[in-house]
Amino acid sequence: MANLIGMLSMNGHADTVPFYLKRMEDIATEGRRATIQHFCDVELQYQTYYLNNGMTADLLQREKRLLNRLKDLGRLVPDDFKLSLYYNLGMAQLLTDDPKGAKRLFQRIRNLGDLPERPDLQGVAILLRLLLVSVEESLPHFLRNSGRYFKKMHRLHRMENMVLKWLKRHGKLGVLERKDSYMQLAEGIQVFRKSRCRGADEVAVWALSQASGRPIRELYAEELKNGGGR
């Protein structure tokens, strides 16, 4: 079913996907392990569909139930699934111009500890949280802690290195200088967007929003219309 949903989305039949998502959700399972796997697969399929079609409000309508379910299941849900589910929820909050909600979800990812299974996604979540915190006085504290995380994981990739250096420079600027600084980040991240580096689209749309003063949701809608976005 998941493969069928993916094919429909890629072949221009996204309008038929909700029908098959509901059918997938209604599949009966037996045994705890199968039930947990089914729950994770269904939620990730819904999240992917909603994000790729600009339906962030629909995604967030499932947030409360999803978080309660994750809480009930606890450690039975693999951390890599939790990370992906939290990340997509955080992205939906970010794309609906709710930085507080996005920071809350990205902090959940940080609280999972170091995850060798998906260091790429965890690293991006930490970078996005740093960007959201960059307007606050507490940034130096978060910057030091995150710097230690990347060093410990031995995986400071080029994009992460670029964004961390930008944050250090940006934090020293005055209010009047920051607009140009945001635009520099938006332009500097383009090389990583071209190589489809995970997180580059998210960083770019956030930086453009800060530089232009336009809501992220408007920029995101334009990205989707022009065939960009996630």
Taking residues 163-189, what's their average pLDDT?
88
CA distance 204 to 193: 8
DSSP character for 136? S
Could you give the 3-state DSSP secondary structure of residue 214? coil
Give tens-digit pLDDT for 137-155.
Answer: 556 555 666 655 565 554 5
Cα separation of the two ends of the chain = 22
Cα separations (Å) of 149 from 79, 107, 122? 18, 14, 10
DSSP assignment of 137-159, as one string?
Answer: TTHHHHHHHHHHHHHHHT---HH
Query: Has residue 181 got a pLDDT over 50?
Result: yes
Taking residues 106-110, what's their average pLDDT?
90
Query: Has residue 66 got a pLDDT over 80?
Result: yes
CA distance 77 to 32: 10
Task: State the sign of the Cα–Cα–Cα–Cα dihedral 95, 17, 225, 204.
Answer: positive
Q: Which residues contact 192 (CB under 8 A, 6 or more apart)?
A: 158, 159, 162, 200, 203
Taking residues 155-181, what's their average pLDDT?
82
CATH topology of domain 31-225: 1.25.40
- Residue matched to tokens 């997938």: 24
**Mean pLDDT rounded to a whole number for the chain:** 84
DSSP character for 27? -
Answer yes or no: are the C-beta atoms of 103 and 122 closer than 8 Å. no
Query: Has residue 86 got a pLDDT over 90?
Result: yes
What pLDDT, on a 0 to 100 scale, did the predictor assign at position 205? 93
Taking residues 166-193, what's their average pLDDT?
89
Answer yes or no: are the C-beta atoms of 223 and 95 closer than 8 Å. no
Domain boundaries, the chain: 31-225
Cα separations (Å) of 203 from 41, 45, 70? 27, 23, 28
